[in-house]
């Protein structure tokens, strides 16, 4: 059985400094990018996160797929905004 990390009921998949948040079967997902990191008690954490709500509709290039974007000073703040975006966008 495959396991993955979730946050507020949505899956979160990470590769390097890029993360995808949400179900690819839904109309929208959010892509997050850690732009800066900082050491906190010896652990590298995201200090600046840029994120993009994107349509999962096939045939769109990455620029066309972006619906809105934002930036926050921590991963948790960015994920909270992203979860709200997905709740609203995927229930329409």
- Among 12, 79, 86, 76, which Cα is nearest to 53's? 86
- Among 64, 83, 87, 81, which Cα is nearest to 21's? 83
pLDDT reported for residue 3: 60
State how many domains the chain has. 1
Per-residue pLDDT tens for 61-86? 889 999 999 999 999 999 999 999 99
Per the structure, the complete domain to which residue 68 belongs is given by 5-89
Q: Mean pLDDT across the chain, nearest whole number?
A: 91
Per-residue pLDDT tens for 28-62? 999 999 999 889 899 888 889 999 999 999 999 88
DSSP structure class, residue 85 = H
């Amino acid at each position: 059985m495959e396991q993955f990390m979730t946050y507020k009921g949505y899956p979160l998949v990470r590769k390097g400094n890029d993360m995808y948040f949400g179900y690819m079967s839904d109309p929208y997902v959010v892509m997050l990018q850690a732009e800066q990191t900082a050491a906190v008690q010896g652990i590298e954490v995201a200090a600046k996160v840029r994120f993009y709500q994107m349509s999962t509709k096939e045939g769109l290039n990455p620029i066309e797929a972006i619906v809105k974007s934002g930036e926050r000073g921590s991963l948790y703040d960015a994920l909270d905004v992203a979860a709200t975006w997905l709740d609203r966008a995927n229930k329409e």
